[in-house]
Amino acid sequence: MDVSDVPAVPEWLPAHLRDDGIESLYPPQAEAVEAGVTEGESLVASIPTASGKTLVAQLAMFAAVNRGGKALYIVPLRALASEKRDEFAAFEQYGLSVGVSTGNYDSDGEWLAEKDVIVATSEKVDSLVRNGAPWIDQLDCVVADEVHLVDDRNRGPTLEVTLAKLRGRNPDLQVVALSATIGNADELADWLDAALVDSTWRPIELRKGVHYGQALHFDDGTQEELRVKSSEKPTAAVVRDTLADDGSTLVFVNSRRNAEAAAARLATVTSRQLDGDEMAALADVAADIREVSDTETSDDLADAVEKGAAFHHAGLASEHRALVEDAFRDRLVKCVCATPTLAAGVNTPSRRVVVRDWRRYSGEAGGMEPLSVLEVHQMMGRAGRPGLDPYGEALLLASSHDELDELFERYVWADPEPVRSKLAAEPAMRTHLLATIASGFADSRETLVEFLQQTLYATQTHESGRLETVMDDMLDYLRVNDFVEETDSGRLKATGLGHTVSRLYLDPMSAATVIDGLRAADDPSALGLYHLVARTPDMYQLYLRSGEREEYTMEAYEREDELPGSAPSEFEESRFDDWLSALKTARLLEDWADETDEDRITDRYGVGPGDIRGKVDTAEWLLGAAESLAAELDLGSATAVREAKKRVEYGVREELIDLAGVRGVGRKRARRLFAAGIQTRSELRNAEKSVVLAALRGREKTAETVLENAGHQDPSMEGVTPDPDAAPDDVDDDTETDPQTGSEDDQSSLGDF
């Protein structure tokens, strides 16, 4: 189908597509248009990666805007939201306005009302519905990217309930659901009352296979020689062979440590293929990586990148991941060793994909278990870059003939598992029940049942009454904790407290834990508050490494008076270990707020810089919620909570809170300024410029920016020389004693590795 034949889209779109080299639609895209996607018809598109799903979404959204409507693009990850925002920004030249919203869960996002296309995570959309964003009712088209994630036990229920609510609010809403791998796409299409495009077409060939011995064995029955030298691992042989044909390789492994170790080894392979220009460009990328954080992880990543390899996992800072992804897309980095986080929709295709590890540790299974077919196919779909690669190859590695046969049966020839709703899990149910009542979607048991009947779970379950049983149990929990009450007429309504909990986007159990803790402590310490929020279901705790139980048991007793609530008995092993894990998490937050250097924290707790940022962000959000709850209940701890929140937000001790709040200052610069005698925002606003310049180590641009943000009348540093008496000693290091190194175990189970 020629792009000029697509109906109902803006008149500028065909010319724009032609300028991008798109003269005609791919077959799956043409099928979507024939199914009415540009004319307001709902659609489930299950088509391979690189086959043009994003253009299907754009056609639907821009056609909706062309009709005078508004479109919403839902993504599972914040990184994807930024990526899509950058993609859609190209259309702003035609008058299209695009907005992105991912954080601040207690906002109604009023500013988004003026936008034509809104990009947001499913959690953010859910929070906007809870907070009564009026423009939600004006939506004409909603795109759900990576819709197979309704199967995810953490993110899935939110996406599922959000789609059900949006359809309930807008009966004529067009829903376009996209995925590369859905085993039961027809079921999702039935649930969404949508047409189905289920295609295996790709713009370039994807060959799937297994490397065994000295050969590649492909799904079409062919074989090709790929010899492994006597000193080589199979993965290194594949990378070497791919580089010989000017291709890139994406290697999937099962843990952070394995990703880092594999990247270090494969860097010796990639470094041999770099020319002078590439080495110079990679040196610049490595320097940028080292600037992100002063940690061993940052240094290790930079060392690998200088040689043309990299690792990628959730323990990296977001800036680390972005630098790696950009360098890989620019073909500077030749090989990336990643955990499955990189398979979740981020645009990082490569010539070859190697699924090195097809088993990973599962706490539930108590050992290693195979990855799902869906996950492996998501990884394999990254192979082949249209316009850059003549083909794509996705390979598993076998160490025996029996394993070769098993991998073909288990993954290469297998269909992905059907997507199954996880809504009936108790944490999801209690959270979404409260939100459904608080936002007015239901006001009785009967209307709750009616709403839940619109979910995917209701269409899939064969257990009679299962949904209602879980619902009734969770309703009882909400009543007991005063989040929901029944009126004299028998109606259900959220209490004032329930409305606050829903608006703050808290799990009701987190709210109950925080409320109990705040009531038990009139003047809680910072550690006590960090421990309190670390005990909630909304905080993913650090686990106890080998030998740490005794250490944290002693600390729990030594600091018992600081910890709100009653500690469980040591004989209640599971509950007591959870209490200690929360204490370990709280100690990390306390170290951060005491200005302990980042590299010491990563070493002490076995985490990466991304984990620190994740814990800090979560604690900041939960403490903000705790402050709101304290005010709602008129508790005297609100001031202590606010101070603990600010300290963890800025990573500073109490005396630096005011100074660190100036944009551009941060924890280390605040300490240098304080050491130079500038202790408050007001003092910074009126400070001698020579003192500020000296405290900031002679960096004129930085000093000008800081003074401008502080409100200084004349921030210019022209002609200013640093005051030698104000030059700081090395105050970057904190005053903590050397960290306890503990065991070498890392925190590979910190959320999605």
Total structural domains within the chain: 5
List the Cα angle 531/495/135 in 5-degree steps: 95
DSSP state of 565: S
**Per the structure block, which two tokens stand in for 118?**
């809104």
The pLDDT score that the predictor gives to residue 107 is 67
- In terms of domains, do 36 and 178 share one? yes
- In terms of domains, do 212 and 243 share one? yes
- Domain range holding 373? 206-412
The pLDDT score that the predictor gives to residue 734 is 37
Residue 143: inside a domain: yes
The residues near 406 (Cβ < 8 Å, ≥ 6 apart) are: 398
Among 466, 483, 500, residue at a domain's last position: 483
- In terms of domains, do 396 and 450 share one? no
The pLDDT score that the predictor gives to residue 645 is 96
- Is 419 in contact with 150 (CB distance < 8 Å)? yes
Residue 670: inside a domain: yes
The pLDDT score that the predictor gives to residue 86 is 85
Residue 623: inside a domain: yes
- In terms of domains, do 41 and 146 share one? yes
Distance CA 346, CA 348 (A): 6
Residue type, 197: V
- In terms of domains, do 79 and 167 share one? yes
- In terms of domains, do 622 and 679 share one? no
Distance CA 446, CA 480 (A): 20
The residues near 77 (Cβ < 8 Å, ≥ 6 apart) are: 121, 344, 345, 346
Distance CA 500, CA 496 (A): 6
**Per the structure block, which two tokens stand in for 423?**
């809504």
- In terms of domains, do 30 and 158 share one? yes
Residue 500: inside a domain: no
Q: What count of other Cβ atoms lies within 10 Å of the Cβ of residue 3? A: 20
- In terms of domains, do 17 and 154 share one? yes
Residue whose tokens read 């810089």: 609
Map residue 493 onto helix, strand or coil.
strand
**Ranges of residues in the chain whose predicted pLDDT is under 70:** 103-108, 343-346, 464, 729-753
Residue 212: inside a domain: yes
Distance CA 546, CA 695 (A): 43
Strands 215-218, 223-225: parallel, antiparallel or unpaired by DSSP? antiparallel
Nearest Cα residue to 445 out of 478, 401, 423, 413: 478
Residue 155: inside a domain: yes
Distance CA 593, CA 292 (A): 19
Among 596, 620, 651, residue at a domain's last position: 651
Looking up residue 634, the CATH number of its domain turns out to be 1.10.3380.30
- In terms of domains, do 441 and 514 share one? no
- In terms of domains, do 583 and 524 share one? yes
The pLDDT score that the predictor gives to residue 601 is 94
Residue 497: inside a domain: no
Distance CA 126, CA 155 (A): 11
- In terms of domains, do 333 and 459 share one? no
Looking up residue 272, the CATH number of its domain turns out to be 3.40.50.300
Residue 734: inside a domain: no
Distance CA 75, CA 73 (A): 7
Among 198, 230, 254, residue at a domain's last position: 198
Distance CA 548, CA 583 (A): 11
Distance CA 719, CA 715 (A): 12
pTM: 0.87
**Per the structure block, which two tokens stand in for 62?**
């821009």
Nearest Cα residue to 455 out of 417, 425, 500: 425
Nearest Cα residue to 749 out of 530, 509, 544: 544
- In terms of domains, do 14 and 154 share one? yes
- Inter-axis angle of helices 526-534 and 573-593, nearest 10: 130
